[in-house]
Amino acid sequence: MKAIRVIPGAEGGTVAVQDIPAPEAGPGQVLVRVRAAGLNRGEINQARELRTGNTITAGVEFAGEVAAVGEGVAGWRRGDRVMGHGKGCQAEFVLADPMALMPVPDNLSWIDAAAFPNVFITAHDALVVNGGLKAGESVLVNGASGGVAMAAIQIASLMGAHPVIAQSRSAAKLDKLMQYGVDVGIDSSKDNQVEAVMAATDNKGVDIIIDTVGGPVFEDNIKSLAVKGRLVNIARLGSPTAQIDLTPVWLKRLHIIGVTFRTRTEQERLECIQACARDMLPFLRAGRVRLPIDRTFALTDIHAAHTYMKLDQHVGKIVLTLD
């Protein structure tokens, strides 16, 4: 089968399309024929960081048909349309834990289904599980045009947050985001985040911030939070370092929370998937979740896909297709 492989090297890993043996479903496993796979910035970072070790297959989210089920698997059968979260899925076939799979609603294409798992599982875990979102609370999303950020905006809106505030340095991107549940947009190229947040929240500050930027917005994020506010950091695209004045953290009794799949156990990962499925699949089936696709590439055009993602001009998901 064809697969996207990351080959370690002294100056960082390189990506190549290779032919490798197709896996077979063992006990407790589901074999999926992949029809589409989401592309995420993590794959680019992974390739850059892979200097030693074995060659690996890239990818963390996929959609396709169940090709075979192993002994002891219940709930799935050959031909089922599924989407899932798991490593090594940028390939024609992937093995998955049954609990890592979700049914694909009839109204979703393979491309749309492949765009759902990683960003919505990550955003749901950050906003609902770790952020503790309650209906009526206010939410700010930094770097709002990325895939996880756009998922967080929709989850916040669907679960009753108000106002939902999006921050971006691009006015054009903010204009596109308004259709996904944004109440207030902050153009950080000209607007002061703290002032804009206070104006939108009657000077209370926001209850939850979902942050993908890191260092450059850290101080403003602390100032923008309400009493007992929660800052949930998913990524550090701007910088991984920041200085902190502990006084407002102390006075406002703030919570600073980091989330990642890298240090989770397999059981914790599966619990994240199931929690997202529980809360979001009803919205997905009802057509209330929008899955913005910026561009698609054939699996074999992986270098073009990586190049396009590095330009950071996309709004929404980049998806690899295998049909």
Residue type, 104: V
Nearest to 36 by CA among 282, 239, 283, 305: 305
Q: Is 108 exposed, middle or buried (0-12, 13-18, 19+ CB in 10 A)?
A: buried
Fold agreement between 2-116+291-321 and 119-258: no
pLDDT at 172 (0 to 100): 83
Residue 77 to residue 60: CA distance in whole angstroms: 22
DSSP state of 239: B
Residue 205 to residue 68: CA distance in whole angstroms: 51
C-alpha of 24 from chain center: 28
Q: Are 248 and 223 in contact (CB under 8 A)?
A: yes
For residue 47, pLDDT over 80 is answered with no
Read off φ and ψ for residue 52, nearest 5 degrees: -135, 170
Which numeric CATH code is attached to 2-116+291-321?
3.90.180.10
Match 């939902």 to its residue by tokens: 164
Read off φ and ψ for residue 285, nearest 5 degrees: -65, -35
Q: Are 25 and 38 in contact (CB under 8 A)?
A: no
pLDDT in tens, 281-316: 999 999 999 888 999 999 999 999 999 998 888 877
Q: Average pLDDT over the chain, rounded to whole?
A: 93
pLDDT band at 144 (very low <50, low <70, confident <90, very high): confident
Nearest to 93 by CA among 37, 36, 34: 34
Helix 117-124 and helix 266-285, axial crossing angle in degrees, nearest 10: 100
Lowest pLDDT segment from 25-34, 81-90, 107-116, 304-313: 304-313
Nearest to 84 by CA among 107, 47, 59, 53: 59
Q: Are 72 and 28 in contact (CB under 8 A)?
A: yes
For residue 238, pLDDT over 90 is answered with no
Residue 126 to residue 85: CA distance in whole angstroms: 16
pLDDT at 311 (0 to 100): 87
- The H-assigned helical ranges of the chain are 41-49, 110-114, 117-124, 147-158, 171-177, 193-200, 215-224, 246-251, 266-285, 302-310
Q: Where are the domains of the chain?
A: 2-116+291-321, 119-258
Residue type, 153: I
- The model's pTM is 0.92
pLDDT in tens, 150-209: 999 999 999 999 999 999 888 888 888 888 999 999 998 899 999 999 999 999 999 999
Q: With H, G, I as helix, E, B as strand and everything else as coil, classify residue 12.
A: coil
pLDDT in tens, 247-267: 999 999 999 999 998 899 999
Fold of 119-258: Rossmann fold (3.40.50)
